[in-house]
Structure 1
C-alpha cells in the first residue's frame, strides 16, 4: 500500500517526494490488481493522521469537523502537489471537493476514491453518521461491479461528474471530536503554516500561476489581473516575476487552455461553445482556430480521436 495504516511516517519524512503522475499511476496499478471494489476507499478511510505528516498532525487536535476540514483543504498542497481540495457551504449542505489539476494525468480513479475515503475517515473521527452523507460524485466512469462499494458507502455514487466530491449536512461541521484532542493544537498548526510558507517560497511563480489558472478555469477566471490578485501580487509585479523566469503569462495561459481544452474535448460531451467560454475565449471561432493551430485538426476531429487519447500515466 502506498498509504494506509501500515505507512511509516518516519520513513515517509525522509523519502524524496514522489512525482504526482507516478503516485497516481501506482495507485491505478494497485487498484487494478484488487478484486475488492472498496479497496481504495477503505484504504483512504483507514489512513492514520500521523502517516500524512505535518498536515495530519495539525488536523488531529482540531475540536470540530469544520476546523479539521478547513485546515485539510488549506494545507493539502504540502501533502500533494498540483491538486486542489476545497470546502464550500451552500445552505444546509457542505461540499468537500478534490481535483488533480493536471489534465494530462488520466485515468485517476484510485486517487479520487482514496482521497474521498480519507475525507470520510476524518469525518468518522467526529462521529458523522452514514445518513449525514447526502451525495458522492466522481469524475471517472464506473469500470467494475459497484454493489460492494454502494453497500459500504450506504448509497450509489454518481460518476462522470465535473469533480470528485462528498456532500454532507452542514450541521455536521459543528460535530466535536469523539475524544479529548491530543496535545497542543497551536504548535502543529504553526508548523503547517511554516511548511506552506516554505512550499510557496520554493515554488516558481510560473508554476503557481499554472496551477491557479487550472484550478480557476472552470469558473472562467483566466485573466492576468485576477490571477495576480489571488496570488497577492500587483499585475505589474506578476509580469516582472514571470519575465524573470522566462514564462510570460500569455504562454502559461495558452498551455493551460491547450491541455484543459483537450481533456474537455475527449473526456466529455460539453458543447464546443461551452468549452470555449470555460477556457476564456471570446467565442467558439477563436477557440476552434487555436485548437486547429495546435493540433492540425478541428475540435470536432479531436473529439472523434478520444479513444486514442494520450496520458502521461499510461
Structure 2
C-alpha cells in the first residue's frame, strides 16, 4: 500500500474556514455523490457543517475536491463547483464582499481578509491602464494539486462580481497558471469570456469602471460585524513562511510553462539570485533540491490521480526525454512510473473489496 508523500513538515498547516464545506456538500448531492464518504476519505469532520467559522485543513479540503472529481468522473469538478457557489456559502468572507458599498470596496475587503479566511494564500488587486486584475495564488509550497482549487476560487469571486454587474456580465479575460485541460471549452462557458491557460498567475481581468457599481446587498452594519469577527478570529495572524516554502510554491505555479530557472523565481520573489541562494542555504536547501522535490510530488500526484501518459507527464515536468523522467522516478520510488501506477491501482482495487 502506498502512502502519501510530503517533501517536508510544516510548522503550521494551511487552513480554510469551514463555511466552504456547506456549499461543497450541497454540490456533491447535486452530483449524486455521498458527501459523508468523501469527508471520511479526506479526513474532514462533518461536524464542521454546524460551525462555519471553524478552521479546517486546506490540504484536506482540496483532497476532498480532487476525490470528488475522481468519483464523479467530472474532470471540471472544481470549475462547476465554483460556478454555482453562492457567495453566502463562503460565510464571513462572502458577507464581507456582499455587504460592501461598491464592487471595488467588495474586492478590496475580500482581498484584505482573504488570508484570514484561507491561510497561506493570496488575493490581490492590481490596477493598470484602465483594467483591474484580481489575482489568486496558493503560497503553501506543499500543495501541488492546484487546478480544481484555482478554478473554484476564481468562480467564487466571479459570482460576487455578478451580484453587482448582473448575471449576463462577463470579465475581459480569465487566466489560469495551470495547463489547458481536455474539456477547456467548459471554462469559456462558465466565465463567458476568453480563458487563457499557462499564464503567470490565476486572475480575473475586468474594466476598472466596473468597480464603481453598487453592491445590491450593501449593509454597513453587517460589514462592520463581519470585519470585527475576522479581527477576533485572525486565523492567519501567526503564519510565517520560510523562503523554501515560497520557492516551492513559485516552482509549482510556473513549471507548467517551462522549466523554472532560479533567475525567474528570484525575480518573482523580488530577490537577487545571490540572496535567494544564500538564504536557501541557511535554511538547508538548494534551488535544485527544491525543484527535484516538486517534480517528485507532482509525478506522484499525476500518476495517482490522472490517466496522463508517461510521455506527457515527462514533458509536463520539464524532461526532454521520457527516459530521463523514468530514471528520476526510479530514484524516487524504486520502480518505473508504469509499474508504480499499476501497483498502486491494484492496491486500490484490493482496498475497495
Regarding TM over 0.5, the answer is yes
What corresponds to 2:37 in structure 1? none
Structure 2 CA distance for aligned equivalents of residues 268 and 92 of structure 1: 43
CA RMSD of aligned residues (A): 5.5
1:124 corresponds to 2:162: yes
Task: Name structure 2 gaps, 5 residues minimum.
Answer: 1-19, 27-47, 303-307, 349-353
In the superposition, relative to structure 1, how do residues 295 and 33 fare at CA in structure 2: closer, same or farther (>3 Å)?
closer
In the superposition, relative to structure 1, how do residues 154 and 225 fare at CA in structure 2: closer, same or farther (>3 Å)?
closer
Equivalent residues in 2 for 1:107-256, closer than 5 Å = 108-109=147-148, 111-127=149-165, 130-136=168-174, 139-142=180-183, 146=186, 150=189, 153=190, 155=192, 158=195, 162=199, 165-183=203-221, 185=224, 188=227, 191=231, 194-200=234-240, 206-215=244-253, 222-223=262-263, 238-239=279-280, 242-243=283-284, 247-248=285-286, 250-256=288-294
In the superposition, relative to structure 1, how do residues 64 and 5 fare at CA in structure 2: closer, same or farther (>3 Å)?
farther
What corresponds to 1:294 in structure 2? 328
- Which of residues 57, 61, 82 is equivalent to 1:17? 57
In the superposition, relative to structure 1, how do residues 229 and 267 fare at CA in structure 2: closer, same or farther (>3 Å)?
farther
Task: Name structure 1 gaps, 5 residues minimum.
Answer: 277-283
Structure 1 CA distance for aligned equivalents of residues 311 and 115 of structure 2: 28
2:57 is paired with a residue whose SS is: coil
In the superposition, relative to structure 1, how do residues 21 and 241 fare at CA in structure 2: closer, same or farther (>3 Å)?
farther
Structure 1 CA distance for aligned equivalents of residues 135 and 202 of structure 2: 6
Cα deviation for residue 40 of structure 1 reads: 1.9
What corresponds to 2:145 in structure 1? 105
In the superposition, relative to structure 1, how do residues 154 and 169 fare at CA in structure 2: closer, same or farther (>3 Å)?
same
1:133 is paired with a residue whose SS is: coil
In the superposition, relative to structure 1, how do residues 13 and 135 fare at CA in structure 2: closer, same or farther (>3 Å)?
same
Structure 2 CA distance for aligned equivalents of residues 62 and 309 of structure 1: 52
Cα deviation for residue 122 of structure 1 reads: 1.4
CA distances 1:26-48 after superposition (whole Å, capped 9, x unpaired)? 442575479x999524432x131
Cα deviation for residue 11 of structure 1 reads: 1.4
1:4, 1:47 within 8 Å by CA — same for their partners in 2?
A: no
In the superposition, relative to structure 1, how do residues 210 and 136 fare at CA in structure 2: closer, same or farther (>3 Å)?
closer
The two structures have a TM-score, normalised by structure 1, of 0.58
2:107 is paired with a residue whose SS is: helix
CA distances 1:162-209 after superposition (whole Å, capped 9, x unpaired)? 465433322212323224433254982772894333233xx5554344
The two structures have a TM-score, normalised by structure 2, of 0.53
What corresponds to 1:40 in structure 2? 81
What corresponds to 1:279 in structure 2? none
**Total equivalences in the alignment:** 277
Q: Larger relative CO (CA 8 A, sep 6+): 1 or 2?
A: 1
Cα deviation for residue 119 of structure 1 reads: 0.9
1:172 is paired with a residue whose SS is: helix
Cα deviation for residue 88 of structure 1 reads: 3.8
